[in-house]
Amino acid sequence: MNFANLNPLNWFKKPAQSHEPAAPRVQSNWSPLLSGYGPGVNLLESDNSYHIELAVPGLTQEDLNIELEGNQLIISGAQSRQRSIDVDGQQWSIARAGFFQRRFTLPADADASTLEAQLKYGVLTLKVARTGGARPERRTITIH
């Protein structure tokens, strides 16, 4: 990241050289700090269970929340970090905050009472057993 772009005095140094208004330049300079946060997800299926894996590096158990609402599995998390660095004799304080929420509809043959969660090495793994009942019918839908 180029910290010179974050210096507010640099935003208006040479307005004649740019044909865009100042507001988009200001917004584009801050966009790396304001971007949303969303973890990567893997959905896995075996004969006995379903697995959901979310990449949540840096988050702790206290940062995460898992809820079950009917057959909806809701996973959310929040992260807020702040650090100070010295750049060419100037002290900079960098804060980063992010929130995510992911919803998953559990399949009809998932036994929600067996839901387990584990956080290890920055990966949140959820496991839910499958009931021995019939699997939902699968069919191909024709596109018209």
Q: Flag whether pLDDT at 76 surpasses 90.
A: yes
CB 130 within 8 A of CB 50: yes
Question: What phi, psi does 65 have (nearest 5°)?
Answer: -140, 130
Identify the pLDDT of residue 28: 43
- Asked if residue 119 lies in contact with residue 52, where contact means CB atoms within 8 angstroms, the answer is no
CATH code assigned to 37-130: 2.60.40.790
Question: How many angstroms separate the CA atoms of 35 and 26, rounded?
Answer: 14
pLDDT of residue 61: 93
Cα–Cα separations (whole angstroms), residue 50 to 16, 44, 54, 100, 131? 58, 6, 14, 22, 11
Section 48-58 average pLDDT = 93
* Domain residue limits, the chain: 1-35, 37-130
Mean of per-residue pLDDT scores for the chain:
78
State mean pLDDT over 37-53: 90
